Amino acid sequence: MKEPGRTEKATPKRRAKAREDGMILKVPDMDATLLLWGNFFLFLGLWGSTLTVLTSQTAYFLRKATDPSYLMDGNMSSLGTDLLSIVLRILLPFLGLNWLIALAIQFAQHGFQPTFGMLKLKFDRLNPFSGMKRLLSFRSLMETIKSLAKFGIMAWAAYGVLGPRMGQILSTLQLPLGQTLALMQDTLFALYRNVMLAMLVIAAVDFAYQRYTFEDNLKMTKQEVKDEARDADGNPEIKGRQKSMMVAALMRRIRTAVPKASVVITNPTHFAVALKYEPGSLAPVCVAKGLDHIALQIRQIAKENNVTIVENVPLARALYRSVDVNKAIPPDLYQAVAQVLAYVYRLKGSLGQGVKLN
């Protein structure tokens, strides 16, 4: 029985772990029903060839029976070989195809994912008290009720065929062989049909019950779901410390890089990009950039170190989105940045140096 407090649906991780442990949805009645129907159509397909083999082998043994030497002690091994050959020729096609049908049923239900969890030795299964507890459990009681119900349904299905025909079956000793065989064939076909239909109903009900039980046993507590989510996303405290360390490292880099910048281009509040240009170099390089709080820190550090701040909304946004830190600006922004640098150099009285971006 499911532990109290397990009210949450199983997560994919929980399902994968259960499958590794060999806990999969098992519906024996469904497997037996599909196998029964498969054998029915298999029998219809192979009945002709099977009857041919039986007829030819019966004729063979009847011919051999007329030969007294065939049944002598020296030929008993030959007789055993012939009988084994007949049995194998009749049964092997059915056994082989039944094996393939069983594999197909398992593959259709569970796919090809072999699990070895059920092969592990579990000492609690050897405990007689645990075994007695399982025997007296609610699940064991339900299985007993199911078995009795299935027996009742199967008996009812069989009686529906045999009951009305009982008088005819008892009188077959007085009928010609042809009529007797025809009656037995019709009775067996009707019996098999009713049994298959009854099994189909049983399998459908059992599938619904087993699926409900399986999903119920997989359920998790709220705490288990939280723990799994925490393990998957990482511990919030650790993630918080990591984020703090990353921000601290970023601020150290900004405090070092911004004072060396040639200009800081802002949004003015949301974006800030610090550029450094050395005369003769190919293009300015982004030494720092940031959003919101980081942008504010960049502007403050720039003011403290007398780095010129230029407000240019479209250029600030374009630089922030198109250039990485320690990378040169893209060529399509050369002209706009050159104008800004020329303005900065004019403010500083360095117009004579010029600004030319190749």
The verdict on 222 and 294 lying in the same domain is: no
Alpha helix stretches (DSSP H) within the chain: 12-20, 28-65, 76-110, 128-135, 138-170, 177-218, 222-233, 236-257, 292-304, 313-322, 334-347
The verdict on 216 and 265 lying in the same domain is: no
In-domain check, residue 143: yes
In-domain check, residue 58: yes
The verdict on 145 and 90 lying in the same domain is: no
The residues, ordered by sequence, that sit 6+ positions from 224 with a Cβ below 8 Å of its Cβ are 8, 14
Among 61, 80, 114, the domain-final residue is: 114
In-domain check, residue 323: yes
The verdict on 85 and 56 lying in the same domain is: yes
Check residue 232 and give its pLDDT: 64
In-domain check, residue 9: no
Global pTM reads 0.46
* pLDDT by residue, tens only, the chain of 358 residues: 455 667 778 877 877 777 777 677 777 777 888 888 887 787 777 777 777 777 777 777 667 666 666 555 555 666 667 777 777 777 787 788 778 888 887 777 666 555 555 555 555 555 555 555 555 666 677 778 878 888 888 888 888 888 888 777 777 777 777 777 787 878 888 888 888 888 888 888 888 888 888 888 888 888 887 877 776 665 666 666 777 788 788 888 888 888 988 899 998 778 899 999 888 788 899 999 888 888 988 899 999 898 888 888 888 899 989 888 888 988 888 888 888 888 888 887 654 343 444 4
The verdict on 271 and 346 lying in the same domain is: yes
The verdict on 53 and 135 lying in the same domain is: no
In-domain check, residue 172: yes
Check residue 61 and give its pLDDT: 67
In-domain check, residue 331: yes
Q: What is the DSSP letter of 172?
A: G
Of 290, 352, 349, nearest to 321 by C-alpha is 290
Cα dihedral 240, 244, 247, 248 in deg (nearest 10): -170
In-domain check, residue 243: no
Which residue range is the domain that position 145 belongs to?
Answer: 121-233
In-domain check, residue 4: no
Check residue 265 and give its pLDDT: 92
CATH assignment at residue 295:
3.40.1690.10
Number of structural domains the chain divides into: 3
Among 68, 88, 114, the domain-final residue is: 114
Among 114, 136, 158, the domain-final residue is: 114
